[in-house]
Amino acid sequence: MRASRTLAVLLIVILALVLLAPIYSVVMAGLREEGRISFAWFGDVFADPLYREGILNSFYIAAATTLLTLIISIPLALISDSYDFPFKKLLLLLLNAPLILPPFVGAIGMKGMLSRNGGINELLVSWGWLQQGHTIDFLGSPFWSCVIVEALYLYPIAFLNAQAALANLDPSMIEAARDLGAGRLRSFFGVRLPLIRSGIFAGASIIFIWSFTELGTPLMVGFRRLTAVQVFDELQTTAPQGDAYALVVVLLAISVIVYALSKLVFGRPVQTITPKAGVAKIVERKTGFKALLLLIPFVIVLVAATLPHIGVMLTSVSSNGSVSLHPADWTLKHHENLIGVSETSSEIRELAVHSVENSAKYAFAATTVDLFLGFGIAWLVVRRRGRLTFMLDAMAMLPLAVPGLVLAFGYFAMTQTGGWLSRLDPISHDPTPLLVLAYSVRRLPFMVRSCAAGLEQLPEAMEEAAIDMGASWKRTLSRITLPLLAPSFLAGGVLVFSRSMLEVSDSLILAFDRSTYPMTKAIWSLAAIPSSGMESASVLGCWGMILLLATFAIASKVLGKRLGGVFRL
Amino acid sequence: MAEVRLRDVEKSYGHTRVLDNLSLDIQHGEVYFLLGPSGCGKTTLLRGIAGFAPFDAGTLHFGDRDMTSWQPQRRPTAMVFQNYALWPHMTVAANVEFGLKTRKVAAKERRRRVAEALALVRLGDLAKRKPAQLSGGQQQRVALARALVVQPECLLLDEPLSNLDAKLRQEMRIEIRRIVKEHDLTALCVTHDQDEALSMADRMAVMFEGRIAQCGDPRTLYHKPTSARVARFLGETNLVDGRVKEVAGGAVHLDSPYGPLLSTAADNAGNGPVRKISIRPEAVTLVAQSENDNTIVGEIVDHVFLGHAVRFRVLVSGVELLGQAVETARAAALELGARVQVYIDPEDIVLLEPGTD
Cα nearest neighbour of A480 on chain B: B87
Tell me the percentage of chain A whose pLDDT exceeds 70: 90
Mean pLDDT for A299-315 is: 88
Q: Residue A554 above 90 pLDDT?
A: no
Report the Cα–Cα distance between both ends of chain B, in Å, rounded: 38
Residue type for A325, please?
Answer: L
Q: Residue A345 above 80 pLDDT?
A: no
- Asked if A465 lies within 8 A of B85 by C-beta distance, the reply is yes
pLDDT for position A426:
79
Q: Residue A566 above 60 pLDDT?
A: no
- Helix (H) / strand (E) element for A243: namely helix A242-261
CA A96 – CA A159 distance, rounded (Å): 9
Residues B167-182 pLDDT 10s: 888 888 888 898 888 8
Mean pLDDT for A108-137 is: 77
Judge whether B175 and B184 are in contact, CB under 8 Å.
no
Cα nearest neighbour of B50 on chain A: A468
- Chain A hits for B72, CB-CB cut-off 8 Å, are 464, 467-468
Q: How far is A480 from chain B (nearest CA, A)?
A: 7
Residues A434-486 pLDDT 10s: 999 999 999 999 899 888 888 888 888 889 999 988 888 889 999 999 988 88
- Asked if B88 lies within 8 A of A484 by C-beta distance, the reply is yes
Pairing of strands B295-305, B339-344: antiparallel
Instruction: State residue A433 phi and psi, 5-degree precision.
Output: -60, -45
Q: How far is A556 from chain B (nearest CA, A)?
A: 19
B296 contacts: CB under 8 Å, gap ≥ 6: B258, B259, B314, B316, B321, B341, B342, B343, B344
Q: Does A461 touch chain B (CB under 8 A)?
A: yes
Provide the β-strand partners of residue B77.
B154
- Asked if A469 lies within 8 A of B78 by C-beta distance, the reply is yes
Cα nearest neighbour of B151 on chain A: A469
| Secondary structure (3-state) at A213 | coil
CA A559 – CA A547 distance, rounded (Å): 18
Q: What is the pTM of this model?
A: 0.76
Q: Which of B72, B82, B86 sits opposite A468 (nearest CB)?
A: B72
Mean pLDDT for A298-322 is: 84
Q: How far is A462 from chain B (nearest CA, A)?
A: 5
Provide the β-strand partners of residue B319.
B316
Q: Which of A462, A470, A475 sits opposite B87 (nearest CB)?
A: A462
- Chain B hits for A466, CB-CB cut-off 8 Å, are 87, 98, 102
- Chain B hits for A459, CB-CB cut-off 8 Å, are 83, 85
Pairing of strands B309-316, B295-305: antiparallel
Residues A192-214 pLDDT 10s: 777 788 788 888 888 998 899 89
A560 contacts: CB under 8 Å, gap ≥ 6: none
What is the CB neighbour count within 10 angstroms for residue A127? 8
Q: Does A34 touch chain B (CB under 8 A)?
A: no
> Degrees (nearest 5) of the Cα angle A423, A525, A510?
20
Cα nearest neighbour of B73 on chain A: A470
Mean pLDDT for B79-86 is: 88
A155 contacts: CB under 8 Å, gap ≥ 6: A68, A69, A72, A73, A98, A301, A305
Kindly indicate the confidence band of residue A567, based on its pLDDT and cuts at 50, 70 and 90.
very low
Q: Does A472 touch chain B (CB under 8 A)?
A: yes
Check: complex ipTM more than 0.90:
no
pLDDT for position A404:
84
Q: Does A462 touch chain B (CB under 8 A)?
A: yes
- Chain A hits for B99, CB-CB cut-off 8 Å, are 469-470
Which of A457, A468, A472 would you mutate first to test chain B, the one with the most B CBs within 10 A?
Answer: A468
Of A531, A522, A528, the residue nearest A501 (C-alpha): A522
> What angle do helix axes A142-168 and A49-82 make, rounded to 10 degrees?
40
- Asked if B81 lies within 8 A of A461 by C-beta distance, the reply is yes
Q: Which of A464, A479, A483 sits opposite B52 (nearest CB)?
A: A464
A72 contacts: CB under 8 Å, gap ≥ 6: A151, A155, A158, A159, A301
Q: Which of A459, A465, A483 sits opposite B79 (nearest CB)?
A: A465
A273 contacts: CB under 8 Å, gap ≥ 6: none
Q: Residue A351 above 60 pLDDT?
A: yes
pLDDT for position A343:
56
- Asked if B73 lies within 8 A of A479 by C-beta distance, the reply is no
- Asked if B102 lies within 8 A of A470 by C-beta distance, the reply is yes
Kindly indicate the confidence band of residue B65, based on its pLDDT and cuts at 50, 70 and 90.
very high
Mean pLDDT for A262-269 is: 70
CA B156 – CA B53 distance, rounded (Å): 14
- Chain A hits for B50, CB-CB cut-off 8 Å, are 464, 468
Q: Which of A467, A479, A480 sits opposite B72 (nearest CB)?
A: A467
Which of A385, A467, A469 would you mutate first to test chain B, the one with the most B CBs within 10 A?
Answer: A469
- Asked if A467 lies within 8 A of B78 by C-beta distance, the reply is no
CA B296 – CA B322 distance, rounded (Å): 12
- Asked if B82 lies within 8 A of A467 by C-beta distance, the reply is no
- Asked if B102 lies within 8 A of A483 by C-beta distance, the reply is no
> Degrees (nearest 5) of the Cα angle A41, A45, A51?
155
pLDDT for position A119:
76
pLDDT for position A81:
85
Of B270, B240, B265, B238, the residue nearest B250 (C-alpha): B265
Instruction: Name the region of B164 (left: φ>0; alpha: ψ -120 to 50; beta: rest).
Output: beta
Cα nearest neighbour of A470 on chain B: B73
From the DSSP assignment, how many helices (H) and strands (E) are in chain A? 27, 4
Residues A142-192 pLDDT 10s: 899 899 999 999 998 889 888 888 887 777 776 666 666 666 777 777 777
Kindly indicate the confidence band of residue B128, based on its pLDDT and cuts at 50, 70 and 90.
very high
Residue A262 DSSP label? I
- Asked if A465 lies within 8 A of B74 by C-beta distance, the reply is no
pLDDT for position A321:
66
Q: Which of A459, A469, A484 sits opposite B98 (nearest CB)?
A: A469
Mean pLDDT for A265-279 is: 55
Sign (positive or negative) of CA dihedral A314, A315, A319, A321: positive
Q: What is the CA radius of gyration of chain B?
A: 24
What distances in angstroms separate CA A384 from CA A380, A381, A548, one per listed residue?
A: 5, 6, 35
Q: Residue B50 above 50 pLDDT?
A: yes
Kindly indicate the confidence band of residue A96, based on its pLDDT and cuts at 50, 70 and 90.
confident
Q: Does A467 touch chain B (CB under 8 A)?
A: yes
What distances in angstroms separate CA B23 from CA B57, B168, B183, one per listed residue?
A: 11, 33, 27
Q: Residue B30 above 70 pLDDT?
A: yes
Q: Which of A462, A468, A480 sits opposite B77 (nearest CB)?
A: A468
Q: Residue A275 above 50 pLDDT?
A: no
Which of these ranges, B20-24, B44-48, B337-341, has the smallest mean pLDDT?
Answer: B337-341
Provide the β-strand partners of residue B78.
B155
Q: Where are the alpha helices (DSSP H) in A131-240?
A: 142-168, 171-179, 184-187, 193-212, 216-221, 227-237
Residue type for A25, please?
Answer: S
Q: Does A386 touch chain B (CB under 8 A)?
A: no
Q: How many CB pairs under 8 A join A and B?
A: 60
Of A343, A447, A351, A439, the residue nearest A397 (C-alpha): A447
Q: Does A468 touch chain B (CB under 8 A)?
A: yes
Pairing of strands B154-158, B77-80: parallel
Judge whether A410 and A358 are in contact, CB under 8 Å.
no
HEC letters along chain B: CCCEEEEEEEEEECCEEEEEEEEEEECCCCEEEEECCCCCCHHHHHHHHHCCCCCCEEEEEECCEECCCCCHHHCCEEEECCCCCCCCCCCHHHHHHHHHHHCCCCHHHHHHHHHHHHHHCCCHHHCCCCHHHCCHHHHHHHHHHHHHCCCCCEEEEECCCCCCCHHHHHHHHHHHHHHHHHCCCCEEEEECCHHHHHHHCCEEEEEECCEEEEEECHHHHHHCCCCHHHHHHCCCCEEEEEEEEEEECCEEEEEECCEEEEECCCCCHHHCCEEEEEECHHHEEEECCCCCCCEEEEEEEEEEECCCEEEEEEEECCEEEEEEEECCHHHHCCCCCCEEEEEECHHHEEECCCCCC
CA A259 – CA A265 distance, rounded (Å): 10
- Chain B hits for A462, CB-CB cut-off 8 Å, are 85, 87
Q: Residue B108 above 90 pLDDT?
A: yes
Mean pLDDT for A267-282 is: 55
HEC letters along B139-164: HHHHHHHHHHCCCCCEEEEECCCCCC
pLDDT for position A281:
64
Judge whether B18 and B41 are in contact, CB under 8 Å.
yes
Strand order across the beta sheet in which B251-256 lies: B259-263, B251-256, B238-248, B274-279, B349-351
Cα nearest neighbour of A472 on chain B: B73
- Asked if A469 lies within 8 A of B146 by C-beta distance, the reply is yes
CA B230 – CA B37 distance, rounded (Å): 11
Strand order across the beta sheet in which B154-158 lies: B77-80, B154-158, B187-191, B31-35, B203-208, B211-216
Q: How far is CA B333 from the centre of its chain?
A: 35
pLDDT for position A402:
82
Kindly indicate the confidence band of residue A246, based on its pLDDT and cuts at 50, 70 and 90.
confident
CA B211 – CA B44 distance, rounded (Å): 12
What distances in angstroms separate CA A13 from CA A9, A356, A381, A435, one per listed residue?
A: 6, 34, 16, 20
What per-residue string of b and e applies to A50-73 under the rule 16 or more CB within 10 Å gives b?
ebeebbebbbebbebbbebbbebb
Torsion (CA) A234, A236, A241, A247 in degrees, nearest 10: 40
Q: How far is A473 from chain B (nearest CA, A)?
A: 9
A30 contacts: CB under 8 Å, gap ≥ 6: A41, A42, A242, A245, A246, A248, A249
Residue type for B290, please?
Answer: S
- Asked if B102 lies within 8 A of A469 by C-beta distance, the reply is yes
CA B277 – CA B261 distance, rounded (Å): 11
Q: How far is B95 from chain A (nearest CA, A)?
A: 9
- Chain A hits for B85, CB-CB cut-off 8 Å, are 459, 461-462, 464-465
Cα nearest neighbour of B154 on chain A: A468
What is the CB neighbour count within 10 angstroms for residue B189? 27
